[in-house]
Homo-oligomer: A and B are copies of this chain.
């Protein structure tokens, strides 16, 4: 009996997700390059763009970063005057994050870069395929939790 060949790595869902994620993220990063902002900061700014004040825990969850990483990234963003911290009066363990005016202006520029990427993908990849893919991903994420 020959050695079992075992499924090639390119057929594993985990690998396909990693590859697709890497590629799409690279393209988005390239668009953000001229603003000098990593994708994670866009996510943070976007979540904060409702003006409401989000705790670090909420943020970490929403932007797919763990706490210490987020803390340090926020430190940098505070240095750049994009966001600021306010201690939560109701629960003084918490810190509420807000976007500054400068942060809001940047958010709009980044949003438009991101939307243009989405449009580009939809165009090259097809509207239906894009919609189907999104739906399947949402459903996978929901099941996986």
Q: Which residues of A line the B interface, CB within 8 A?
A: 6-9, 11-25, 27-28, 39, 43, 46-47, 49, 62, 64, 111, 114-115, 117-118, 121, 124-125, 129-130, 132-134, 136-141, 143-145
Contact = CB atoms under 8 A, between A and B. Distances in A.
A132 B132 contact: yes
Nearest to A112: B6
A144 B15 CA distance: 16
Main SS class of interface, A: helix
A27 B145 CA distance: 10
13 contacts: A6-B49, A7-B115, A9-B62, A14-B25, A16-B141, A17-B20, A17-B24, A20-B137, A20-B144, A23-B144, A24-B144, A121-B140, A129-B140
- Counting every copy of the chain, the complex holds 2
A7 to B, nearest CB: 7
B43 A15 contact: yes
B141 A20 contact: yes
Nearest to A115: B7
Contacts of A21: 17-18, 20-21
A17 to B, nearest CB: 4
Given A39-B14, A139-B125, A139-B129, A111 B23 contact: no
A23 B114 contact: no
A132 B138 CA distance: 13
A144 B27 contact: yes
